[in-house]
Structure 1
Amino acid sequence: MKTTGNAVFISGGSAGIGLAIAKKLSAAGNKIIINGRSAERLQKALGELENAVAIQGDLSLEADRIRIARELAEQHPDVNIVVNNAGAAFMNNLSDSANNTAEKAYQEINTNYLSIVDFTSKLLPLLLIQDDAAIVNVTSIAVFRGNKYLPTYSASKAALHSYTQGLRDTFADNDKLNIYELYPPLVNTEFSAEIGGAKGIPASEVADELFLALATDQFEVPVGDAKRFHQLAESLSANSH
């Protein structure tokens, strides 16, 4: 699809991967609408962007999803790309009965999966009237295998991965709406600091890969180490048919 002249909504756009994507697309001549929970962080991010506005809100809350979807439809009816990037992640020790495991898993599933399903359904009427539109769901290298440090986060991203595949199949015959899945590996952001993010790739690398994918209609977008796992998964899937 085109990589300039779009109106792009990015959840979790005030920092990390979301802000890197916002910078890349802003520099390419797109209108940017960033979303986040912190008004202060949003204002700071706007200072690093051109042709950008912010909508504060927490998309894990139904009331905010309704409000933000309505604001987009009323004030930004030209929105044609939605990047579902906001997420939640917790170190979750499954062997510790005092760890509050289920509550952490609930927050991850709600933020990383259920909220995206609901918000996407609310924005589909707007996207489907555009001449060229896209949904970008940011999953993770973790969809390919969980681990003992982030088992429930991995499960929530695996759910989003499966939903994204179903969404793509649903609109396979609609050449005006494309569904992308972005698979970052470990990325050096504040979000990933607790799990060793300092060893990860820069967020700008993720943004660069997404930009290239949009330009070439590459709907599966593994980044860095995720490319190896994605290639193996694709090979196994092909051999199973």
Structure 2
Amino acid sequence: MNLSERTVLITGGGSGIGLQIAKLLSQRGNKVLIVGRDAQKLHQAAASSHNTIALPCDITDTGEVDKLVDEIGSHYPELSVLINNAGMAFKYTHSEDAQAFNKAKQEMDTNYFSLIRLTEKLLPTLKRHPEAAIVNVSSIVAFSPLSVLPTYSDSKAAVHSYTLALRHTLAKDTAVKVFELMPPTVNTEFSKEIGGQQHGMPAQEVATELIEGMENDMFEIYVGRTNSFRQLFLSDPQEAFNLLNQS
């Protein structure tokens, strides 16, 4: 897939993986629209990257999403790449007082339900182009859960399932390609609680591998150790779970 001279929208684009993707794509002559809740942080991120535009929006808010979609239709109808990168996670373990329901609801709203809604609302725009793409960012935990991120893992497994079905459906009669980025732990603010600063791979490397994968039409992009972990999971799911959750 050609990734130059396009208009790209990235949710969660104000920091971490999203911002690194924005920077690399802007260097390739793309116009990059970054979306996030924190307007100040988002505008600062946009100022650090060429040809990048901040569009503040809480993607869990229906009204704000509708305004975002209207703005894209009015000002950026050439949008041809959607990267669903926004995410949130709670670190905890299941117990009678973990408040897992409340945590899971927030994670699923951000990581899964909002992704589905935005994708569906932007599909008419994407379908108009001779080549377009959707990228859903899931995780290594889409294969097997990390016990200290239990319901976050659930949400990423749901994203993986949704992506498979979406790719299958859109391939039948549209030119919209559906990619899935599946990184391991990444060194970002997002992963600080689970040791991302010590053990995570650099966000720029993840962004680079995403772009290389898209250019080569690799629809499932396994970053870092995700590919070897996937192979272990397919051969021995319990051993893969044990490896991921070793103390």
Length-normalised TM-score, structure 2: 0.92
Question: CA-to-partner distance for each residue in 1:195-233, whole Å, 9 max, x for gaps?
Answer: 111120000011000110111111110100111123445
> Residue 147 of structure 2 corresponds to which residue in structure 1?
148
Task: Look up the match of 2:77.
Answer: 77
Deviation at 1:43, TM superposition (A): 1.4
**In 2, Cα distance between the equivalents of 1:210 and 1:162?**
19
Measure, in 2, the Cα distance between the counterparts of 1:113 and 1:232: 26
Counterpart for residue 90 of structure 1: 90
Tell me by how many angstroms 1:92 deviates: 2.5
Q: Quick check: 1:121 aligned with 2:124?
A: no
Structure 1 residues 89 and 235: alpha-carbon distance in aligned structure 2, compared to 1, 3 A threshold: same
CA contact (8 A) 2:127 2:174 kept: no
Q: Which runs of 4+ in 1 moved over 6 A?
A: none
Which residues in structure 2 correspond to 1:23-172 (within 5 Å)?
Answer: 23-95=23-95, 97-172=96-171
Taking the aligned partners of 1:38 and 1:4, their CA distance within structure 2 comes to 28
SS at match of 1:98: coil
RMSD (Å) for aligned C-alpha atoms: 1.4
CA 167–235 in structure 1, closer or farther in 2 if over 3 Å, else same: farther
Letter of the structure 2 residue corresponding to residue 142 of structure 1: V
Gap change, CA 1:24 and 1:167, over 3 Å in 2: same
Q: Would you say the 8 A contact 1:92–1:104 is kept in 2?
A: no
> Equivalent residue for 1:216?
216
CA distance in 2: counterparts of 1:71 and 1:124, whole angstroms: 15
Q: Secondary structure at the match of 1:210?
A: helix
How many residues were matched structurally?
Answer: 235
Deviation at residue 143 of structure 1 after TM alignment: 0.6
The aligned residue for residue 17 of structure 2 is: 17
For 2:44, give the aligned amino acid: K
Consecutive unaligned residues in structure 2, runs of 5 or more: 237-247
Q: CA–CA distance in 2 between the matches of 1:203 and 1:11? A: 15
Structure 1, unmatched stretches of 5+, are 237-241
CA distance in 1, matches of 2:232, 2:220: 14
Summarize the Cα distance change of 1:234–1:70 in structure 2 as closer, same or farther, 3 Å threshold. Answer: farther
